[in-house]
Amino acid sequence: MGYSLDFGWLAGALGAITRGAATTILLIAVTTLAGTFLSILGAAGKRNGPKPLQLAIGIYVEVMRNTPFLVQLFFIFFGLPSLGVRLDPILAAMLAMTLNMAAYTIEIVGAGLDAVPRGQSEAALALGLRPRQVFVKIVLPQALKVIYPALTSQIVIMMLESAVVSQIAVRELTYEADMLQARTFRAFETYFVVTMVYLGLSMGLRRLLVGGGRRVLGAGVS
């Protein structure tokens, strides 16, 4: 075989890889916060909202879940400018990721809401709490505790999926890998190193979420 692996380029590439990883982390952080918030609204709306809203949320969930994220990304990034909305690539990526993740987490949060016994909200109402307080203070924390593991997996999946936003030139980890391999002509080694960085990120993210969840939501979160 006339090919030998060469990692000599790595020392000079650490800066680019770190910058890319930082952008990937930023993307997933924004997506997690916005997506979870949106899915709480969506799940509550799908249960208690007016009929047309329930229908609209149902259609939204099905459309997002049955089409590829890459197509959604292109639709938003290339489509919106023809409506006169010009989005920065990174904003388009955040928007697409949030909308995509919300479709999955609406179902997850909804399952959590259904798992909280009715007696909990009835008891809270009987104590004189207003309906909004009942939802935010009584039902939601219990629901989040139930669904936390599923939510964690979804966040990790979304982080891995974020690799494709390199296709609209967001300068995240995969984009930096593309640039590096074009410069070093060491495609396999570059993608190998970056793949390992992703593996580390996904394991670290999972550990962080599980640890953080225990602290915030209390014991019993796995």
Partner 1 sequence: MIEFTFWDIVRNLLLAARWTVLLSLAAFIGGALVGLAVLFFRIAKNKWVKRIASGYIALFQGTPLLMQLFLMFFGLPMLGLRIEPWTAAALGLTFFASAYLAEIWRSGVDALPRGQWDAGASLGLHYLQELRLIILPQAFAITRAPTVGFLVQLIKSTALTSIIGFEELVRTSNAINNATFEPFKVYGLVALIFFVMCFPLTQYARRLERRAGAR
Least Å distance, CB 40 to partner 1, is: 23
Q: Is 222 a binder of partner 1 (CB under 8 A)?
A: no
- Residues near 16 by Cβ (< 8 Å), separated by ≥ 6? 176, 179, 180
Of residues 63-102, which lie at the interface with partner 1 (CB under 8 A)? 63, 65-72, 74-75, 78-79, 82
Which of 64, 36, 65 is CA-nearest to residue 75?
64
Least Å distance, CB 198 to partner 1, is: 5
Of 3 and 11, nearer to partner 1 (C-beta) is: 3
DSSP 8-class letter at 164: G
Note whether 152 and 209 are within 8 A (CB): yes
Alpha helices, H only, the chain: 10-48, 51-65, 69-79, 89-115, 118-126, 131-133, 140-161, 173-184, 187-217
Among 163, 179, 210, 217, binds partner 1 (CB under 8 A): 163
Neighbours of 137 (CB within 10 A): 11
Of 13 and 140, nearer to partner 1 (C-beta) is: 13
Q: Is 161 a binder of partner 1 (CB under 8 A)?
A: yes
Least Å distance, CB 32 to partner 1, is: 17
Of 24 and 135, nearer to partner 1 (C-beta) is: 24
Angle at 174 between CA 73 and CA 198, to 5 degrees: 110
Among 62, 88, 114, 122, binds partner 1 (CB under 8 A): 62
Of residues 170-209, which lie at the interface with partner 1 (CB under 8 A)? 174, 177, 181, 187-188, 191-192, 194-195, 198-199, 202-203
Which of 187, 162, 184, 188 is CA-nearest to residue 173?
162
Least Å distance, CB 128 to partner 1, is: 37
Q: Is 37 a binder of partner 1 (CB under 8 A)?
A: no
Cα gap 140→149, rounded to integer Å: 15
Of 43 and 140, nearer to partner 1 (C-beta) is: 43
Instruction: List Cα–Cα distances, 86 to 35, 73, 164, in angstroms.
Output: 22, 14, 20
The binding site for partner 1 (CB under 8 A) comprises 1, 3, 62-63, 65-72, 74-75, 78-79, 82, 156, 160-164, 166-167, 174, 177, 181, 187-188, 191-192, 194-195, 198-199, 202-203
